Chains A and B, each alone.
Chain A
Amino acid sequence: MTDFAVATKQIKTLALKAGATVVGVADAAAFDVHAPVKHRPADLLPGARTVVVVGGAQPRAGDWVATSPWLLSTMGTTERIQGVGRRVAQAIESELGYYALFVPPGTASGDTPFLSLMLAAELAGLGTRSLAGPVLNRDHGFMYWSAVITTAPLEVDPPDAAPACPAPPCREMWEREGTTPCLRVCPIDAGGCLGGRLEHDRPVRTAYDAGRCNTRVHTHWVGGFQKVLEETLNEPDRERRKMLVYGDFMTRTLWAITYSSTNIAQCFECMRVCPAAHGLKEMR
């Protein structure tokens, strides 16, 4: 008979060894009150009991302080955490003998993911939502997530009781100026994406322009390619068509698509200014 305390520890150790910075386990049923039908663990894997979530592959401290704006926009590392998720899924099946479904990192349709990885990270006690949107881990800040749904009744982690957001400097800034670094760098009422406030030292998001954020974060991704392709096809002038095809924008969208694992996002401003996003470790 499987000792699930031991099995949980075994899977967590494997995940950390494979490259995860953090790992947690959520109860599959806990998604029911938050996630819409068809996007809950049991909708994807019949008999799902738990969801193992791994986080990591975040930009390094050096990436955040680099002065070139092109560094973060062309040197993403998110793919690494997906590899950890796949290994966890295989280990659960081969070592524990339970079904394991690696949650595909893509979307089922449009912008809708199969399962919200941010919700999974929250329910696995690995972080809490920030005013800027991303789930932040208290020790490591902003990170990328991967999840595995399984029928194994692993030991579930409690939710994170002490949220990373707002960080103490943000609370002070709010009291002083009525804003926070992320709200100030990308204000929704001045062409930005974010709106919100702090209430009893908790972040309360009041507005988020997902469409605008998407076009800024993924400037050179599939959406950028679709945009420039349409423009090219609509352009009657042959010379201008040539300029569009060989232009930096089209070229960079093609780089982004082919180097999908290193060219994930082109805007990190809300996270760049967030004091909670870069982890607690001081660098010299």
Chain B
Amino acid sequence: MTVTETVKAVGLRAGARVVGVASAEAFRAGVPEGYRPEDILPGARSVVVAGGDGPTAGAWRSADHRVMEITGYDLRENVAIHAMCDHIERELGHYAVQAPSLPVHGHEPPMSMMHAAELAGLGSRSFAAHIILNPEYGLLYYAALITTLPLEPSPPLAEPACPHPGCVAMYKRIGTTPCLRVCPACLSGTMQNARIETSTYDREKCHSRAQTYGIGSFQKALLALVDEQDKARRHDIIYSDFFTKSVESLGFFRDSIAQCFECMRVCPVGRKYRKLQ
């Protein structure tokens, strides 16, 4: 086994569904200064990306829509990243850090996990809110590590995961795709020669739907509370399901990642893993 293969095996054993490697250099072309791997870890040579599973097929199939809203995730990709970081530092003697992915200004993270996944050959952007789709598994959740260890970069995808052949056929027939049709409010795009030609999405609209309960909804409710002069109405807001769930989602963030999955529900990429007995 090469060093790269060994690192990947550690990640897969720790629960990642897929692991890929990008060279730190590859980020220079598309990432502004200050957000590149070497701006986070001096001397960065490689970025290792792990993709983890989201909801189970059973959760996708549930008749109760609220199950998916708080279904609970493993976030195993983060565990896999830490296992690989430990391996790199303890066994191989190189620096390794988990790449920071939580927003620090607005929606902006110090490093884009989506871009890292693309560069590591794990997926490509889709019509569906530009979510990175893995050609085999579809929707995965990504985490990354930055290391000074030189590793062999994974090859880029030979073919983009989106559009799926079924979506290409649908577009030819009726000029739309399953995701564009299910959510014309957030998504729009065009296709040319079986490739995405243009793709845009209304991030603010999508965000307020995908994260009905979370920090944003808590802030919204808090502002409404502070602005509300009537004591009885304040009481109603505080003890409402909306506010309670917003506060719960702050504590149980792992269980309350997103509340809208409609563009992914209709996406055929990786669907074979959602068809069980």
Contacts and interface: CB of A to CB of B under 8 A. Distances in A.
Contact of B255 (A46, A104, A221): A104
B225 A226 contact: no
Contact of B276 (A83, A151, A225, A256): A151
B238 A45 contact: no
Contact of A98 (B71, B72, B277): B277
B56 A43 contact: no
A101 B64 CA distance: 11
Interface in B18-75: 53, 56-59, 61-64, 66-67, 70-74
B241 interface: yes
Contacts of B53: 90
A125 B62 CA distance: 26
A6 B59 CA distance: 25
B243 interface: yes
What does DSSP make chain B's interface, helix, strand, loop or mixed? helix
Contacts, number: 109
Interface residues of A, number: 42
B276 A46 contact: no
B148 interface: no
B250 A43 contact: no
A46 B61 contact: yes
A230 B62 CA distance: 36
A214 interface: no
Given A86-B74, A90-B74, A222-B247, A99 B66 contact: no
8 contacts: A82-B72, A86-B72, A90-B74, A93-B56, A105-B252, A106-B248, A114-B64, A226-B243
Interface of A: 38, 43-46, 82-83, 85-87, 89-90, 93, 97-102, 104-106, 108-110, 114, 149-152, 221-222, 225-226, 229-230, 233-234, 256-258, 260
Given A101-B62, A108-B66, 12 more contacts: A44-B64, A45-B61, A45-B62, A93-B58, A102-B58, A104-B255, A105-B72, A105-B252, A109-B66, A110-B241, A230-B238, A257-B251
